[in-house]
Copies of this chain bind each other. A is one copy, B any other.
């Protein structure tokens, strides 16, 4: 339906060019700290993906957005050994967290929750992705990120695994459960940082931030996921925790969110292989339809303070409205109330933000 795609006559080969653009605008009621109202090009991704000899697949994706957001995203090659068994190598997301792995086009809110501080993101690695009718199990070994470029330092190594299960699935309804864990050896990169913005990325300010934690030898993270989709209604929650090991004693940080959404129109969320997929509205805005309309609420929290590290705590309450104009186009509006306590200061900004998002 969208993008440039070519499929060979025998269907063994295909190649596709696509992408995704997001523009955000935000106004902050600043509460003593200047967050910086304005607009930003949040994502501007172009990808090429394809299939070779039926069983080989590749994808390459780059984000052209401004400075700290730009860079290589997916850049992997995979091989289907047999149905439900795929080997993969290249730059891809460490398997961890329901909302971290879903496309921003498939997540309910404009930004991922506060616990996204723990996102491992994309790393160069290799692994196996197994799946059955109602489960997935992805495991990989990873090295550096694609933009790490440090001379004379041994890179980091991560082992990560995620298991998901659908105890119930029928038509537009499902129950999802997931558990993930990862262990990281920092190699010569002994500094680590966890931080979170106010679930809004127009501002570059992170209200909670551990700053550079030195002398970290290794770390581990665990994640728990639960989600329920009942036709128009959705409920989704995750808990994430991290332990950092260093000479001065371990550090423990954690975060969680719980969110719910309801479609005002006769629409529902899509789901595929352990991840939510983009909503396909039943009617098209501008073709005698109004698209899909969804109301959503989320409560999220993160705690980045432990021992001598005062990263702070933060709680956000978000109310959101999504209008899915077509399967490729979405508009969002959100109101967020923030309560962030760092040491020693407290900030309680409110914010209102808008998004236009479209798939190329």
> Which A residues contact B (CB, under 8 angstroms)?
1-6, 13, 15-17, 19, 21, 23, 25, 33-41, 44, 46, 48, 50, 52-56, 58, 60, 62, 64-68, 72, 75, 77, 79, 89-91, 124-125, 143-144, 146-156, 187-188, 203-205, 284, 286-287, 325-326, 328-329, 356, 358, 360
Are A155 and B39 CB-contacts (below 8 A) given A2-B52, A143-B25? Answer: yes
- Are A124 and B41 also in contact (CB < 8 A) when A149-B68, A204-B152 are? yes
18 A-B pairs besides A19-B48, A37-B187 with CB distance below 8 A are A3-B50, A4-B6, A4-B17, A25-B143, A34-B154, A36-B155, A37-B155, A38-B144, A39-B143, A39-B144, A41-B72, A44-B60, A44-B62, A50-B360, A54-B287, A56-B325, A66-B149, A149-B204
Nearest to A142 among chain B residues (CB) is: B39
CB-contact partner of A25 in B4, B67, B124, under 8 A: B124
Give, as a whole number of angstroms, the nearest-CB distance from A313 to chain B: 21
Decide if A205 touches B72 in the complex (CB within 8 Å): no
Q: Name which residue of chain B comes closest to A69, CB basis.
A: B149
* Chain B positions within 8 Å of A144 at CB level: 38-40
A75–B41 contact, CB under 8 A?
Answer: yes
Tell me the nearest residue of chain B to A123, going by C-beta: B39
A326 touches B72 (CB 8 A): no
Q: In whole Å, how far is A278's beta carbon from the nearest beta carbon of chain B?
A: 14
